[in-house]
Amino acid sequence: MPHQQQHPHLDPRSPLVLETRDLPRRPGALHAVSRKVPAPKDLGLELIGVPQGAELDLQLRMESVSEGVLVSGTITSPLAGECGRCLRPISDTLDVPFQEFYAYQHSTTDETTDEDEVGRLQGDLIDLEPALRDAVVLSLAANPVCREDCPGLCPECGVPMDELPAGHTHEQVDPRWAALSQMKTSEE
Ligand SMILES: [Zn+2]
Ligand SMILES: [Zn+2]
């Protein structure tokens, strides 16, 4: 099995590795893959992503095509993050399409393209993780917001505007008036 020796690091039992041994190498042959797997760490961006260990729901199909295997379907999972304006927590659901072609080793595609252009089967195995990371990360907003019109934080006191009374301001008060208003308060 010379193929396996080239990539001894791919573990067929890993949740993000697909086994194609049972998929006939005949164009049109199909296999559905339905799995729920724990999310790997660092799946996302700085402000939003899939929490490590959260359930990634993969609904995919593997299809034999002439030069390899086309994997397509959808990835769903919970998302957690922070609003880029008010910094309050956000929870959302990720639902992204996935489509990636993996060339057979020694196919024409394999011999004529770079490994970072087109995915490769490694023996009978497909490593989903790199393309899955791309699909997830590209679907995320670099600057997520809790809602479109989130007013953000008060620039003076740093409290989310949503949690402050309407008309909240920090008017510059003349120190003499400030002293006076303090006296008034203590009189009451
Ligand atoms: Zn917000
Ligand atoms: Zn304020």
Q: Which residue has the tokens 């919970």?
A: 78
Using CB atoms within 10 A of its CB, is residue 96 exposed (0-12), middle (13-18) or buried (19+)?
middle
Query: Which residues 6+ apart lie within 8 Å of 100 measured at CB?
Result: 70, 71, 72, 119, 128, 131, 135
How many angstroms is it from 74 CA to the middle of ligand 1?
A: 28
pTM confidence score? 0.79
Compute the distance from residue 151 Cα to the ligand 2 centre, in Å: 12
Q: Which ligand is nearest to the CA of 47?
A: 1
pLDDT category of residue 3 using cuts at 50, 70 and 90: very low
Ligand nearest, relative to CA of residue 162? 1
Confidence of residue 117 (pLDDT cuts 50, 70, 90): confident
| Centre of ligand 2 from the C-alpha of residue 148, in Å | 21
Rounded to the nearest whole angstrom, what is the distance from the C-alpha of residue 76 to the centroid of ligand 1?
Answer: 24
Question: According to the model, what pLDDT value does residue 185 have?
Answer: 56
What the block records as the tokens of 99 is: 């489509």
